[in-house]
Amino acid sequence: MMKIGSLDTVEALKMAIQCKMEMKSYYAKCAQLMHNDDAMTILDGLAEKEERHRIQLIRKYSSISGKKILYLNLGKKHKLGTLIPCGEDPNEAVRAAKKNETEIKNFYTTVSRRLYESDMRQMFRQLAMEEEQHIALLESTFVEPLNLDQGAAAQNDAIYQEMAAEGNDGASTW
C-alpha cells in the first residue's frame, strides 16, 4: 500500500479518477464473462455508475486545479497497487470485484480522514459509502457458492428446456 499521509487533494482526486476508470473497465469485462442476462445487467449497471462517478470527479478536479483532464494515464504512484485485474473465470472475477471494491472503499475512507478541506473530506466519505453500496449489491446478487461458469449455465438451460417440454406434455392431462 502507498503512503497516503502526504497525499494532497489534487493527487487524491487523480487516484479516485483512476480507480473509477479501472473499475468501469473491470465491470465491462466481467459482464462479458457472464452467461446470465441478470448478472450482465447488474455488472453493466455498475460500469455505468463508475463512469458517472468518474465524470463527477473530473469536474471536481477541474474546479479545484483549474486544469482539464481529457484523458488520464497515471503512473504507478496514482494507482492502487492492490486492485486485482479481471481474469477469465466468471466466479473469480466476481470475487475479485468484491475485493477491489473493498480496497477502494478503504482508500476513500483513509483519504477522507487525511484531507484538510471539509467538503473534500465529505466527498471522499460519500465515495466510500457508494463503494459500500456496490459491495452490498455484489454480495446480494452473487451469493456463494458461485456457479457462473458456462458449463453450469448450459446445463441449467438444458434442465429448464427439459422441464418446459415436460410441462407442455403434462399440461394436457390437467
What is the DSSP track for 79-132? S-TTPPPP-S-HHHHHHHHHHHHHHHHHHHHHHHHH-S-HHHHHHHHHHHHHHH
DSSP state of 66: S
Higher pLDDT, 171 or 62: 62
Does 56 have pLDDT greater than 90? yes
Listed in sequence order, the residues at least 6 apart from 67 whose beta carbon sits closer than 8 Å to its beta carbon are 61
Is residue 4 over pLDDT 70? no
Yes or no: say if 103 and 80 are a contact pair by the CB < 8 Å rule: yes
Q: What is the mean pLDDT of residues 110-119?
A: 89
Residue type, 102: T
Q: Lowest-confidence range among 6-20, 94-108, 111-125, 127-141?
A: 6-20
Q: Which residues, including other chains, have CB under 8 Å from residue 34's CB and lie 6 or more apart?
A: 40, 43, 90, 148
Q: Enter the CATH code of domain 9-146.
A: 1.20.1260.10
- For the chain, the structural domain boundaries read 9-146
Confidence of residue 129 (pLDDT cuts 50, 70, 90): very high
Closest CA to 125 of 27, 47, 16, 48: 16
- Would the pLDDT of 123 be above 50? yes
The pLDDT assigned to 78 comes to 64
**pTM, full prediction:** 0.77
Q: How confident is the model at residue 40 (pLDDT cuts 50, 70, 90)?
A: very high
pLDDT of residue 173: 42
